[in-house]
Structure 1
Amino acid sequence: MGLSSYLRKVYDLDTLDTRFTSSTSVPYQTVIDARDDPAVEREAAARARSSAPPPKWRTPEFFLYYMVFIVVVPYMFWVAYDVSRPSDPRYPKYEKYLSDGWIPGRKIDNSDAQYRTFRGNFPIMTGLLIFHPLLRKAWESVYKPSARGARGSTRLDQRATFDFIFAIAFIVILHGISSFKILAILTINYQLATKLPRKYVPAATWIFNIGTLFANELTMGYRLQLLANWVGPPWGPLAHWGYWLDRWGGILTRWDILFNITILRLISFNLDYYWSIDKRSSNSLEVSAHSPPSPMSLHTKKGLDPASLSERDRISIPADIKDFSFRNYVAYALYAPLYIAGPIITFNDYISQSKYRAASIEWPRTIRYGVRFLLVLLAMELILHYDYVGAISKAAPVWSDYTAAQLSLLSFFNLHIIWLKLLLPWRMFRLWALVDGIDPPENMVRCVSNNYSTQLFWRAWHRSYNRWLIRYIYIPLGGSSFRSWQSSVKSVVTYLLVFTFVALWHDIKLRLLIWGWLIVIFMVPEWTASYLFPKRKWESRPTEYRMLCCIGAVGNVLMMISANLVGFAVGLDGLQSILSSILHDWSGVFFILTACICLFVGVQIMFEIRESEKRKGVVMKC
């Protein structure tokens, strides 16, 4: 296999996540078995060809788009590079935020705290990625649980015991004295799920976990010195004792910042347990050796192989009642590869994959995924060596000193850096999980530049979190429907509640609440346009419909850029300052119109990318 052929496989959707190229309702072993069947391949190819129009890549229309790309894309990079050169008169103002780089003659913009932490700890995390799976292999060669139970239960016992022990050691090293606070929260949450009457479990779960988010924020992670000052004299003996204990905070003292992701797993365990109570007799896949199965459970299990479940079955079929143990709960909630940042898997899925290794985990694909991660890391490093957009933003710039093009592209590249700084940890931790034998969902489906729909963008951004929201909030609230004005209003309220939780979960700050509500507000025009211009009425005019959709998509892109700048970059005041600086004269207005034309070209390319995926039999809802 040549280098170009291998790189194509590296950037194939199947390498990123098999969930994108095969149905989640079909066991992946079925996909593996069908690989060498020519009849299946011919049928899939014919079905794919009929689901999408002929390709447009070689049409005159798209050759015009290529000409725009050849000019505009290099120009975009040049503008960001030009304002980042030492010769720029504003360079001394933000130079203090730059660090020595590894590319000769260039410094690196390492001003972002999240990426700086990831970059500084990269060697340690790489060591853990190698050491943790090797230690598990050594454990499995020594620890041989009783083989009296089913094969899956034996494997679960072996893996969960290791995960439990490693998790305790892991959080003690990471958080020191605060590990006891974490275990206390886990214990209370477990007692709520297993000891309260069933009808109180959902309400108690949400109240406790949302309350924990607020308590973590208000007490700065229950700092003992702060708590001592509340109950005793300021800087008394108790406060001094608390200060001394706080110093033993481990490698990452701010455990409460990382704990938000653990909150999701606590809620997942409680609600999976709550939903299992009525279903366990009919859907359990394993039957205790000491009691015969009921007729209903035999009927439900007919045709289901617990060793080869589809992902949908792994999530929806409740774990066995004995699997909701405290050991398994802690092993899941603090599972080392996914503890710090995710991706997120449900408790049911964790137990199922612990019992039977997912067929989608194949070493050639995992290696290609690792290569892809390293290439993304290289891209991030190159951008930070040549485009200092983060440092410029941190230096409180006078935005009116920049041209409309410079302002727009600094904002645009700022969003790309935000995307990359989130993508890299998520991919590294997912790679660690894959090496360890657990297949969580891929968090980032598409590049941030390859999105034109606000609603679809949020399906692809932090995808495992989006799936969590759908399962535990969106569907229980009734989902959405836009068939009538009444149902539309209810749906908007549902989305507002979902994104309010999303904002509070990220951080308890007003700008994030504004960001969450802006997202919903910016979805309304898209929903309205879909209602007023349904695709079925334009079947005889596909080109006109595509152009109409593209115009709407350009508006969506501008709104998404604005919302994310507010939430994750410059805030509402910063966005207002940037917009006023861009639009203060006619040259800025002309630039915005030119940018909209360029976005129009980019959206047309996005449309065709998705049509190309359909021709290959891949239909992604994002």
Structure 2
Amino acid sequence: MGVLSFLRATYDLDTLDTRFTNTSSTPYKTVIEARGDAAASKERAAKWKSQGQPSRWNTPEFYLYYFVLLLVIPYMFWVAYDASRPTDPKYKLYERLLRPGWIPGRKIDASDSQYNTFRSNIPYMAALLVLHPLLRRLYNAVVYPVKATGQGSRPTPEEADQRLNQRATFDFGFALVYLVALHGISAFKILLILYTNYQVATALPRKYVPAASWVFNIGILFANELCRGYKFGEMAALIAGPTVQNSVLDSGSTLVSWGRWLDSYGGLMGRWEILFNITVLRLMSFNLDYYWSLDRRSYSPVEKQIDPAALSERDRVSIPAQAKDFSFRNYVAYAIYAPLYLTGPVITFNDFISQQRYKAASIEPARTLRYAARFALCLLAMEIILHYDYVQAISKARPEWGRYTAAQLSVLSFFNLHLIWLKLLLPWRLFRLWALADGVDPPENMVRCVSDNWSTLAFWRSWHRSFYRWSLRYIYVPLGGSSFRTPRDAARSILTYVLVFTFVALWHDIQLRLLVWGWLVVFFMLPEMAAGFLFPKAKWEGRPTAYRMLCCLGAVVNIFMMMVANLVGFAVGVDGLENIIAGIFRDFSGFCFIISASMALFVGVQVMFEIRESEARRGINLKC
């Protein structure tokens, strides 16, 4: 395979996640088996091609779009670079947020502590990515070997149970060591939370389990934040009594001294509570999967004539694990599964147990290698941007936005969102790569580049996709989903969206700006829903070009609204956004620039539309 062929395959959707090119109801094993059938492949390709619109890539219209993009994209990078040059008078305001870089003559933007922590730990995480799977293989070969009991290629139920026990026992032991290494003495706090949650699911009467699980886990989110990780020193001072608390702290009593001594053993990541939010999702998944399994105890894939070794993803998620699988060992192995513990992606308990029994057919060495190459290229892109465009440092230095031009304000805001996207994408992909190397295939979190989105609804589906799927299964569907057939249904659906995004905002962090972000997302969904109702595609079948242009205009407005919501939630906050908008529209040049930017976005959206049509011609519909 040549370099260009390898790069083309690296950026194929199938490399990113087989869930994107294969329906959730189709076992991937059947896709592998069908690869050798050339006639069937040609027939499927012809069928899919007939379903999509004719390609526009080689039309005069798109040649004009290419010309515009060749001018606009380099100009955007130049604007950001020009605002970041050391010769700029405003450079001194944020120079303290820069650090020496590895590109000669350039410093690197180190203003984002989250990415900076990830960046500095990449060598250690890369070592874990290699050593953890190797250690498992050594354990499997020496400590817990599994002997084949059947003659066929498909594992027998006994072999599958042995594989589950083998993997879960290793994961349980590794989880305990991993917790202590990461969080030191706080590992016992985490295990106490896990044990309490396990009792909520398995010891309470069945009818109380859902409500009790939600109350407990949402309460944990608030308690972790308010109590700052339950420091032993602070708890000791509280036990000493409020009247003497200050004097006890000052005098260094034995109890408080012991508490502080314990707190000093905080491991590599002492602030465990910041990272625990993702674990809460797994705790809820275990509890609700267990609760729903009680209604389907007699269900068996074998009895339904479904091959348990070749389940589709939908079956892996929906078919309940066996009663014996809901053990405390399996629960801890799942909740603290090392590759996905810190950041995810999120995988349901049912899916995790299914993949522990039978290795997913989608895990192939060649695909995993291409996925690793794609991660490395994304990391390189992030490093280059941080060395040349200091957009995050500028925004974090509390600048006087009025000193920047409208073009600079708009491009700095736009690039800020891209850096947020990249700093989230990189940890998610690194830890998913670790899971793939270890034999578990979790969902990909980032479907598309942040620049390849125009729909608020689709953006929510493609950004942190595993969390979106979790929200669908455990919140959205149990609340009744959405329907806009009647005003009453519409009001209930809007309330459902508000509840979902309120939880999403609180889950991210207990801050007002994130609540505002969540409510803005819902608010900005309404125009898109109304437009779909007022301008149904069926009424424009005779005028496809006019309908495409109309949709493109609406998409440009949507993009501006999504930028506003995400800048408020994850970048500059409400006050910062107000200052940016005021700076853009302070004179006539700002209005002219916004018109030009809208035209550029119009061109970009047309390319986005054609990308989706190209996918439709391959039989792919990501709905985002």
Q: TM (normalized to structure 2)? A: 0.96
Which residues of 2 match residues 33-72 of structure 1 at below 5 A? 33-72=33-72
Distance 1:436 1:49 in 2: 37
Deviation at 1:42, TM superposition (A): 1.9
Distance 1:433 1:493 in 2: 36
Does 1:252 pair with 2:269? yes
Alignment of 1:332 with 2:302, yes or no, is no
1:438-462 Cα distance to aligned partner (Å, 9 max, x none): 0000000000000000000010000
| Distance across 2 between alignment mates of 1:97 and 1:452 | 33
- Decide whether aligned partners of structure 1 residues 57 and 146 sit closer, same or farther in structure 2, where only a CA change above 3 A counts: closer
Q: What amino acid does structure 1 have at the position aligned with 2:135?
A: L
Q: Which residue of 241, 250, 254 corresponds with 2:258?
A: 241
The Cα offsets for residues 299-334 of structure 1, whole Å up to 9 and x where unpaired, read as: xx22x0111100000000000000000000000000
SS across alignment from 1:99: strand
Q: Distance in 2 between matches of 1:43 and 1:514?
A: 50
> Higher mean Cα deviation, 27-36 or 237-246?
237-246
Select the residue among 186, 191, 194 that pairs with 2:199. 191
Q: Which residue of 1 aligns with 2:604?
A: 602
Counterpart CA distance in 2 for 1:146 and 1:540 is: 63
Deviation at 1:103, TM superposition (A): 0.4
Which residue in 2 is equivalent to 1:453? 455
Partner residue, 1:383: 385
Q: How does 1:127-526 map to 2 (within 5 A)?
A: 127-144=127-144, 150-232=158-240, 233-234=245-246, 235=249, 237=253, 238-281=255-298, 283-285=299-301, 298=303, 301-302=304-305, 304-526=306-528
1:555 equivalent in structure 2: 557
Using the alignment, how far apart are the partners of 1:387 and 1:111 within structure 2?
Answer: 12
Letter in 2 for 1:267: M
Aligned residues: 607
Contiguous gaps of at least 5 residues in structure 1: 287-297
Q: Which runs of 5+ in 2 are unaligned?
A: 150-156
Q: For residues 197 and 212 of structure 2, what CA distance do their matches in structure 1 show?
A: 9
Report if aligned partners of 2:584, 2:590 keep a CA contact under 8 Å in 1: yes
Rounded to whole Å, the distance in 2 between the matches of 1:504 and 1:105 is: 42
Contact conserved, 2:339 with 2:431, CA < 8 A, in 1?
yes
Alignment pair present for 1:82 and 2:82: yes
Per-residue CA distance 1:33-62 (angstroms, 9 max, x = gap): 111112221221122112111011111111
CA distance in 1, matches of 2:568, 2:234: 32
- Superposed structure 1 runs of 4+ greater than 6 Å apart: 145-149
Give the C-alpha shift of residue 390 in structure 1.
Answer: 0.9
Asked if 1 retains the 8 angstrom alpha-carbon contact of 2:140 and 2:146, the reply is no
Q: Residue type matched to 1:557 in 2?
A: I
Checking the alignment, whether the CA contact within 8 Å between 1:108 and 1:386 is kept in structure 2 is yes
Q: Counterpart of 2:414 in structure 1: which amino acid?
A: F
Letter matched to residue 507 of structure 2: W
Q: Secondary structure at the match of 2:368?
A: helix
Give the SS at the match of 1:342: coil
| Partner in structure 2 of residue 289 of structure 1 | none
1:284, distance to aligned residue in structure 2 (A): 3.0
The aligned residue for residue 153 of structure 2 is none
Q: Counterpart in 2 of 1:73?
A: 73
Distance (whole Å) between structure 2 residues aligned to residue 153 and residue 410 of structure 1: 54
- Residues 233-270 of structure 1, C-alpha deviations (whole Å, 9 max, x = no match): 23152323222211111000010011000000000000
Distance of 2:10 and 2:623 partners within structure 1: 22
Query: After superposition, what is the alpha-carbon deviation per residue over 1:451-477, rounded to whole angstroms, capped at 9, x for unaligned?
Result: 000000010000000000000000000
- Residue 164 of structure 1 deviates from its aligned partner by 0.2
State the partner residue of 1:294: none
Deviations 1:338-391 (A, max 9, x none): 000000000000000000000000000000000000000000000000000111
Secondary structure of the structure 1 residue equivalent to 2:35:
coil
The letter for the 1-side match of 2:270 is T
Superposed CA RMSD: 1.1
- 1:8 Cα offset (Å): 0.3
TM-score by length of 1: 0.96
Query: Match for 1:546 among 545, 548, 573?
Result: 548
Task: Indicate the larger mover: 219-228 or 392-401.
Answer: 219-228
Q: Equivalent residue for 1:585?
A: 587
CA distance in 2, matches of 1:592, 1:398: 20
Q: Which SS does the other structure have where 2:309 is aligned?
A: coil
Query: How far, CA to CA, are the matches of 2:606 and 2:599 in structure 1?
Result: 11
Find the residue that maps to 1:177 and give its secondary structure. helix
Three-state SS of the structure 2 residue aligned to 1:444 is coil
Q: Give the secondary-structure state (helix, strand or coil) at the position aligned to 1:439.
A: coil
Q: Which residue identity lines up with residue 272 of structure 2 in the other structure? A: W
Kept after mapping to 2: 8 A contact 1:284/1:319: no
Distance (Å, rounded) in 1 between the aligned partners of 2:40 and 2:519: 46
